[in-house]
Amino acid sequence: MWAKGIAMSQRNKFAFALICMGAMLSAHPAAAHAALVEAQTAQAIRLHAVYDTGAPMSHAQVIIFAPDDPARPWGQGVTDRDGRYDFIPDATEGRWSVQVRHAGHGAIVHVNIGENMPMIVRSSVETGWLNRLLMVVLVAWGALGTALFAVSRNGRRDASA
């Protein structure tokens, strides 16, 4: 009887030990509620995509190509309502290419990432209204000259005939 009691006690101890181990193991997932957050500064590329009218390219698709693989996209995204999109490139140095497109319209901008990181890069040179007007006047002048030349030549030909 006493020996049986001892045996029962050992079994209880063993069971108790098993329950404790199970409790410890089951406590492991609960530890996942704890969180570890690291914060570090990083240099990001900020895009601002607009049409030539100045209207933002809202919800346009962004495709990013890293310098080491210009064929496969490194990342993708969508611009916000104001045509803005931010991304943090990895440490790959060289010329990053970013394409922004929306309904068949868009542009590609190249960003050189290295020691001297540029702050502002534009996909094309902006032309002001004065420049545009000047170009139209120059082209109109050229066309008018062509027209007048053709008219005068026809006139001379008619006169000589």
**Residue 13: both structure tokens together:** 């101890």
Q: Is 121 in the site for other proteins (CB under 8 A)?
A: no
Q: Is 63 in the site for other proteins (CB under 8 A)?
A: yes
- Considering only residues 8, 52, 118, 121, which one is a binding residue for other proteins as defined by CB under 8 A? 52
Distance CA 76, CA 100 (A): 10
C-alpha neighbours within 13 Å on the C-beta side of residue 135: 6
In the complex, the smallest distance separating the C-beta of residue 118 from other proteins, rounded to whole angstroms, is 20
Contact range with other proteins by CB under 8 A, out of 2-10, 25-33, 48-56, 87-95: 48-56
Q: Is 108 in the site for other proteins (CB under 8 A)?
A: yes
Q: Is 21 in the site for other proteins (CB under 8 A)?
A: no
Q: Is 117 in the site for other proteins (CB under 8 A)?
A: no
Binding site for other proteins (CB under 8 A): 51-53, 55, 58-61, 63, 72-73, 76, 78, 99, 101-108, 124-125, 127, 132, 135-136, 139-140, 143-144, 146-148, 150-151, 153-154
